[in-house]
Chain A
Amino acid sequence: MAAETQYTANTGLVQISTANSNLDGTGTLGTVLTAGANGTLINSITVKATGTTTEGIVRLFLYDGTNTRLLNEIHVPANTPTSTNPSFEFVWNCDIKLQASWLIKASTQNAETFNIIAEGLDWAYYGGAVRPESTNYTANTGMALATTANSSMDSPSSNVYTSLTAGASASGWKGTRVESFNIKAIVSTTMGMIRLFISDGTNTRLFREFPIPAKTKSSTETAYEFKTSLGNFNLKADWVFKVTTANTESFSVITEANNWKYPA
């Protein structure tokens, strides 16, 4: 076997209109898109109001089949469309590789109607032998909810949350390439820290720290969020990324990564 990449458009579309002020994934959500078998490359997510808006927030979530975690919040201004003034519209160029079968969901703070459109591409691989070194990638999206404080800087043993597990070597994965690390608070925050650790199964060592500012969320103010590139860090197969929060405040931590293997 070898691999050549083939793409299939996967456009997600949902209309939401039921008010939901929750940031924890409960309440009414609309399903925007479901990822394909190897994952789905989501280029952009468009939020388009169909009428007058009051100041509020549209929220985007990830769902892994069990947990629903906040991914992003989009502030919506007050706006009255007319024949010459368009309704609210926002395009988030997210460039997310979403793991197979995972869902993007959406909610609206206010009971106003929005169309949520995701531009996605599923990818697959040609099954015939092409080149022995042809590489197959499968999206590996990590997701954790860090809630309880832990100030340990080395080998934290409690209140440490697994944010990503690299592909299993026993399944043929050669490692996991980590692209980005997304921190999204779901509560008001005080000054603190999110810490990222690497674990080899025996040792859990500090890798990065991300300072958290004080920010008060409300029905019109988004909670703190931060996204950083990890520069395509190559994490060894079976190794794990873990996170802690310095304060007992809830953060949705989403890691965007891809496992790779050589099918030939």
Chain B
Amino acid sequence: MLTYLNDQLLVKRETNINERAKYTANTGMVLLNTANTNTDGTGTLGTIITGAANGTYICSLTVKGSVTTQRGMVRIFLYNGTVTALIDEIDIPAVTQSSKTEAFEVTYELGIYLKNGYVLKASTVTGNSFIIIADGLDYAYP
């Protein structure tokens, strides 16, 4: 990608010189609105993103409420085709959404590699509506 540095010539923010890889955007998105209090991977889960052939690099994960939220939890799970394992819990505060106040929103910079076929899933404890968005990049080699 191209960018300027102050008072310097144009530089590349990112280059493939040492990467030797090709990337394809893999944006994951799911709406959660069914309450699930389980931490063992059972019950209703939404699929956020699935790792591609060589894997998928997850840059960030955004949790965005689309309603007034009660205090609760969004849970993130990793599914390997057999086991669904809890890997993180995100505290949700009580937020009253209005035309002037935004609903709950948080973005995490992840920087994790998801194995081929592995799946990131999510659940909501309260049944409040949340959209989970993963900024992912599939990669391949020339």
Q: Give Cα A239 to B6, complex, Å.
A: 33
User: A-side binding surface: helix, strand, loop or mixed?
Assistant: strand
Contact A198 B16 (CB under 8 A): no
Q: Give Cα A50 to B23, complex, Å.
A: 49
Q: Which of A95, A134, A191, A235 contacts B3 (CB 8 A)?
A: A95
Q: Give Cα A41 to B4, complex, Å.
A: 9
In the complex, B114 has a CB within 8 A of chain A? no
A contact residues, total (Cβ < 8 Å): 51
Mask, B21-35, CB within 8 Å of A = 1, is 111111101010000
A167 to B, closest residue via Cβ = B25
Q: Give Cα A97 to B24, complex, Å.
A: 21
Contacts of B135 in A (CB 8 A): 233-234
Contacts of A174 in B (CB 8 A): 22-25
B contact residues, total (Cβ < 8 Å): 42
Mask, B5-26, CB within 8 Å of A = 1, is 0100010100010011111111
Given A137-B2, A264-B142: A211 in contact with B60 (beta carbons within 8 A): no
Q: Give Cα A191 to B100, complex, Å.
A: 6
Contacts of B23 in A (CB 8 A): 174-175, 234, 260
Q: Which of B19, B25, B97, B109 contacts A235 (CB 8 A)?
A: B25
Contact A234 B16 (CB under 8 A): no
Contact B142 A133 (CB under 8 A): yes
Contact B100 A193 (CB under 8 A): yes
In the complex, A203 has a CB within 8 A of chain B? yes
Contact A5 B25 (CB under 8 A): no
Q: Give Cα A234 to B60, complex, Å.
A: 10
Contacts of B22 in A (CB 8 A): 132-133, 135, 174, 262
A152 to B, closest residue via Cβ = B66
Contact B25 A121 (CB under 8 A): no
Contact A153 B25 (CB under 8 A): no
Instruction: Please report which residues of chain A, range 192-246, place their CB below 8 angstroms from some CB of chain B when the two chains form the complex.
Output: 192-193, 198, 200, 203, 205-211, 231-237, 239, 246
Give, as a whole number of angstroms, the nearest-CB distance from A99 to chain B. 14
In the complex, B62 has a CB within 8 A of chain A? yes
What are 11 pairs between A and B in contact, CB < 8 Å? A7-B10, A133-B21, A135-B16, A198-B27, A203-B29, A207-B64, A207-B131, A209-B64, A231-B109, A236-B26, A262-B22
Which positions in B face A, CB cutoff 8 Å?
1-4, 6, 10, 12, 16, 19-27, 29, 31, 59-60, 62, 64, 66-67, 97, 99-103, 105, 107, 109, 129, 131, 133, 135-137, 141-142
